[in-house]
Structure 1
Amino acid sequence: MYNNPFREDNFRRPGWGDYNDFETTSFGPSHFGPPPAGQMPMSTPPGFSPPIPAWRVGSSGIRSCLFRNTYIWMNSGRSFWFFPTAVGREIIAGFRWSRRYGWYFRTISRNQIRSYECFR
């Protein structure tokens, strides 16, 4: 009959309680926005997961991997294929590969990267 300002829906944060799927979780601020059309890879990444390097590389030098299939190991222990299209001081933007969704745009915080390896 009237608009109740104390309804539960008015206090829910957007996206909370809907799902908590890692595949749809961003790794950092998305202020880069989606890249121009035509930069998404046209093929799938290599069909293997390389072994993690014995040394920690961090994200320095990852600019040399722009527009190349790159395997990334995160500090959290997760690893995945990534196709970087922009490298900033704090984040890397590009496309992450998911068997379920294919390539989709994501940003990654540089300080969360343990190591990486580029492939042609």
Structure 2
Amino acid sequence: MYYNHFYYNNPYIHEDYLYSTERQFGQSTGQQAGPPTAPPPAFVPQQQVEAYAVDPGGIARCLFRYTYVWLRGFEQFWFYPTFVGRNSVSGYRWTGHRWVYYGIDLRQIQSFTCV
């Protein structure tokens, strides 16, 4: 049986959303599982239209890319996602000086954009 569905064909998300990027992206693919080696861009992108809910498939397009995140409650920051789960995304958050590992419940995200 062949499935032509985003979650079956996306290399970052398994149907149960439980693949770890550390296991999935090893040395063979050259994909970086740790934090970026450089700071994020020096600009703040324009906020996109606010979403009612963030879909795991939507934010999966931003895996291993600089992503600007606006949380509900007005907090905003640069983020480098490395894992997307059913209800959360994790990766590295820029503190202004360095990258620190960070996880976000998808319900907290108001909007995001990746560059």
- Tell me whether the two structures share a fold, i.e. TM-score over 0.5: yes
- Aligned-partner Cα distance in 1 for 2:33–2:59: 21
Q: How many residues align?
A: 84
Q: Supply the RMSD in Å over aligned alpha carbons.
A: 2.0
Larger Rg: 1
The alignment's TM-score, normalised by the length of structure 2, stands at 0.66
Q: Structure 1 residues 52, 38: closer, same or farther in 2, change over 3 A?
A: closer
Shift >6 Å, 4+ stretches: none
Identity score, percent: 37
Matched to 1:49, the amino acid is V
The alignment's TM-score, normalised by the length of structure 1, stands at 0.64
- Aligned-partner Cα distance in 1 for 2:114–2:88: 17
Shift of 1:39: 2.1
Q: What does residue 104 of structure 2 align with?
A: 108
Question: How far does the alpha carbon of each residue in 1:18-74 deviate from its partner, in whole angstroms, 9 at most, with x for none?
Answer: xxxxxxxxxxxxxxxxx6885210111000111222x21342200000000000000
Unaligned runs of 5+ in 2: 1-21, 24-31
* Contact 2:63/2:80 (<8 A) preserved: yes
